[in-house]
Structure 1
Amino acid sequence: MDELKHFIYDHLISIGTNETTAVYLNMLGLLLALLIIIFIIDFIIRKLLIGVFAQFASKSKTNFDDLMVKNKVPRNIAHITPLLVALEFISDVFYDFPDFEIVVERGLKVFAIILTLWIVRSILHTLKDYFKTLPNLKDKPIDSYIQVFMIFAWVVGIFSAIALITRTPFIHFITGLGAASAVIILIFKDTIMGFVASIQVSINDMVRIGDWITFQKYGADGDVIEINLATVKVQNFDKTITTIPTYALISDSFQNWRGMTNSDGRRIKRALYIKQSGVKYLSKEDVEDLKNIQLITSYLDTRQTDISNYNEANQINKELLLNGRNLTNLGVFRKYIDSYLKHHSAINKDMMIMARQLAPTTQGIPLEIYAFSSDKRWENYEYIMSDIFDHLIAALPYFDLEVFELPSNTNFI
């Protein structure tokens, strides 16, 4: 082996080359030869490993090995052997330059640390992609956990490299950093808060990928597409992307629509504002006319009989409608809405159906519809709700009622 170390040197000396020049050329020749050998070994092993992994992945039923190939795990592992060869023979290359040998050897060891980080990153990315294909884990914030492990690996790797370069034992180097722990915590404050938030979000099942959330503080209204260590990405319905700090999910209030999505219906909660001056008692003639509306015919028959019996039993003077018990057009219309909703094919009959009167306002009397559509898809939901209110607005004149609205220019003209 000693003969090989000085083969080029001996040849150069034999042809009359200066000794100093021969030493340097000998080193460069050996270095070039080692680099060629390393390149060939790396090429062969890389091709073999990638080929073996690809062939195994094509026959395997699981997609884990496919993801390993996709994330370059075998490619990174293939670099280990050439690196070991370089570490083994670098002392022979720089036999006459011990100072260079120390520097290059440290450089190779630092590269070994970086290569280890590459391999760890590839494996973690493979695990991340694989976990996202599992039904029980695909909506979990896997990215956050992978990022935490990767940050921890990079921190250990960087500290190891610095300790190696400075020739300080790793344990002593870490101990010395204890005094700077407050600064480190300050630097990684957002990362630490994001990690804690990710754990709480996951444990409490507050948000999943695919959830529709509304976060007014950040202007977010759409589907969660990504949950990272530091941020949550929401694709709004206008296709813009809103980025929210992960810790904001536990420190601020937001609305998650998952409960509605998983329920049997989507709530309809909207009011008609009725003009107050149009509200009146109904005379017998008015009641008879309203009996032509089929949805409330039986109700009016029953209700009119009950009211008449009460008034007669209590000898109520009905020459004035105000006396005794009476029907009002607003009350009958409210009953009509209730009956109409219960007969509507798109309303879920197993959930609450209610037409209620709210406190009067300066814009009229709010008559609110509270029900649930069976179809929860946004487009269909809006169509159902519009269809219901189209009908009710058009039905108002049959009850001598009007919707309140502020006057426009045409009213004054």
Structure 2
Amino acid sequence: MLLGMSALFLAAYIANFIAKKVVVQGIQKILMRLPSARNSALAHHNVIRRLANIVPALIIMNGIDSVPHLSEKIIHLFQMIAQTSIFLSIALTFSEVLNVFNTMYQKSPNAKNKPIKGYLQLVKLMIFVVCALMILGTFLKKDVFNLLAGFGAMATILMLVFQNTILSLVASVQIASYDMIRIGDWIEMPSLNADGDVIDMSLHTVTVQNFDKTITTIPTNKLVTDTFRNWRGVASAGVRRIKRSIYIDQNSIGFMSDDELNKLKDFLLLNNYLNKKETEITEFNHTLMSQAKYNQRRLTNLGTFRAYVDFYLKQKDGIAKEELILVRQMQPTSVGLPLEIYAFTNTTIWVEYEAIQSDIFDHLISILPEFNLKIYQAPTAL
């Protein structure tokens, strides 16, 4: 019996070695050399390797009854284990085939507008459910259709009794599959007054410690059905956005005189800019057919200030120079003309971020009078 078992498992091992090291690797090398994109995708995925796992299982299942002095129970046990391995290998092979199909589809132009990953995951779920039922039927020695009928009746009762648990379980699987939340992530969910770090994740709840040190407990399924914001991308990028406006009093906006221009040339950041603009304006005005005053180009204090802010941000310490830096004029409002600052700091630490942002606006608000501009402030009764 021992010699027979040893010979059987040795034959299964040799067959597995030949299938994996010789046949599978040979087919993969051939597919890699072929120009077709489908063949390349098959070579990079484990479709052939998954299918090769059937070979040793077939040898054990068909050869176990040839081992002498083995009882019928042991033979049936080994056959059921081998058959289970075959079912699982087939299911994993179909799963890899669907992965190959998804990889090929993502290269098509329609992939961004019409993704099919969710549908393929549903098909995978159905395949593994059928595989689990077939494995269960193998061990219980019952027909799969009878198991499906009993499973349907039992599932109805379980869904009524354990409804919340099932919803939480499905949500937990989705959260883990899509990597939506990790412990340590900063999430923001205004509908449940959650704004802080995730400190615990369980089947039914996700615990968030808010920045005011209060604790918010979120049902797991709410993270799938409701909207929330995860700030993990900010931490991984290493930068954080500044998007804030200064509201300029529109009555203070106007053309600049020569004296004002000469005064602003003392600013190192504006010297080259003003000289360049003066040259452009002079050349433009000389080409005008009419020399009427309203036809001539002139510099405005707001445009000059906007250029100054742009130069200031590009040389400011703490600003990520490789990211977008934008100073733009927004739609005028009843409370002034918004001048928006759009930039990114090179740190995500909250204290440092606020310090950099405050330094920028402290400087800009203080230097506004040099451009004869004023910040809008609602009039108060005397």
TM-score bucket (shorter structure): 0.5 to 0.7
The yes-or-no answer on 1:364 pairing with 2:336 is yes
Q: Distance in 2 between matches of 1:233 and 1:389?
A: 36
Cα 1:297–1:177 change in 2 (3 A) is closer
1:353 aligned partner:
325
Shift in Å, 1:256 = 0.5
1:289 aligned partner:
263
Q: Distance in 2 between matches of 1:323 and 1:293?
A: 29
3-state SS of paired residue (1:339): helix
Output aligned runs, 1:113-192, within 5 Å. Answer: 181-192=155-166
1:227 aligned partner:
201
Shift in Å, 1:179 = 5.2
Q: Distance in 2 between matches of 1:392 and 1:179?
A: 71
1:96 aligned partner:
none
Q: Distance in 2 between matches of 1:306 and 1:260?
A: 41
The yes-or-no answer on 1:217 pairing with 2:200 is no
Query: RMSD over aligned Cα, in angstroms?
Result: 1.8
Q: Distance in 1 between matches of 2:152 and 2:272?
A: 83
Q: Distance in 2 between matches of 1:177 and 1:203?
A: 26
Q: Distance in 1 between matches of 2:290 and 2:263?
A: 24
Shift in Å, 1:285 = 2.3
Q: Distance in 2 between matches of 1:204 and 1:176?
A: 32
1:236 aligned partner:
210
Q: Distance in 1 between matches of 2:279 and 2:290?
A: 15
Cα 1:381–1:235 change in 2 (3 A) is same
2:244 aligned partner:
270
Cα 1:242–1:316 change in 2 (3 A) is farther
Shift in Å, 1:187 = 2.3
Shift in Å, 1:355 = 0.6
Cα 1:178–1:250 change in 2 (3 A) is closer
- Runs of 4+ aligned structure 1 residues displaced above 6 Å come to 175-178
Shift in Å, 1:181 = 4.5
Between stretches 280-289 and 214-223, larger displacement belongs to 280-289
Q: Distance in 2 between matches of 1:294 and 1:235?
A: 47
Q: Distance in 2 between matches of 1:179 and 1:265?
A: 54
1:391 to 347, 363, 367: 363
Shift in Å, 1:375 = 1.6
Q: Distance in 2 between matches of 1:299 and 1:231?
A: 58
Shift in Å, 1:315 = 4.3
Identity across the alignment (%): 47
Q: Distance in 2 between matches of 1:316 and 1:338?
A: 34
2:311 aligned partner:
339
Matched letter for residue 242 of structure 1: T
Shift in Å, 1:177 = 9.8
Q: Distance in 1 between matches of 2:348 and 2:150?
A: 59
2:353 to 377, 381, 390: 381
Shift in Å, 1:249 = 1.2
Q: Distance in 2 between matches of 1:203 and 1:294?
A: 54
Matched letter for residue 233 of structure 2: G
| Greater C-alpha Rg | 1
Cα 1:178–1:258 change in 2 (3 A) is closer
Q: Distance in 1 between matches of 2:324 and 2:151?
A: 62
Cα 1:331–1:182 change in 2 (3 A) is same
Shift in Å, 1:313 = 1.6
Matched letter for residue 258 of structure 1: R
1:330 aligned partner:
302
2:373 aligned partner:
401
Shift in Å, 1:376 = 1.1
3-state SS of paired residue (2:295): coil
Q: Distance in 1 between matches of 2:155 and 2:264?
A: 80
Shift in Å, 1:324 = 2.2
Q: Which string of whole-angstrom CA distances, capped at 9 and with x for unpartnered residues, describes residues 368-396 of structure 1?
A: 00001112100110011011000000011
Q: Distance in 2 between matches of 1:389 and 1:346?
A: 14
Q: Distance in 2 between matches of 1:180 and 1:250?
A: 26
Matched letter for residue 186 of structure 1: L
Shift in Å, 1:178 = 7.2
Cα 1:388–1:316 change in 2 (3 A) is farther
Output aligned runs, 1:102-113, within 5 Å. Answer: none
Aligned length: 234
Q: Which string of whole-angstrom CA distances, capped at 9 and with x for unpartnered residues, describes residues 59-109 of structure 1?
A: xxxxxxxxxxxxxxxxxxxxxxxxxxxxxxxxxxxxxxxxxxxxxxxxxxx
State TM-score, norm by structure 1. 0.54
State TM-score, norm by structure 2. 0.59
Shift in Å, 1:185 = 1.1
Shift in Å, 1:176 = 9.1
Matched letter for residue 337 of structure 1: V
Structure 1: any 5+ residue segments left out of the alignment?
1-174
Q: Distance in 2 between matches of 1:389 and 1:369?
A: 9
Q: Distance in 2 between matches of 1:283 and 1:312?
A: 19
Shift in Å, 1:405 = 1.6
Q: Which string of whole-angstrom CA distances, capped at 9 and with x for unpartnered residues, describes residues 330-383 of structure 1?
A: 011000000000010110101111111111111111100000111210011001
Q: Distance in 2 between matches of 1:362 and 1:215?
A: 32
Output aligned runs, 1:9-28, within 5 Å. Answer: none
Q: Which string of whole-angstrom CA distances, capped at 9 and with x for unpartnered residues, describes residues 119-163 of structure 1?
A: xxxxxxxxxxxxxxxxxxxxxxxxxxxxxxxxxxxxxxxxxxxxx
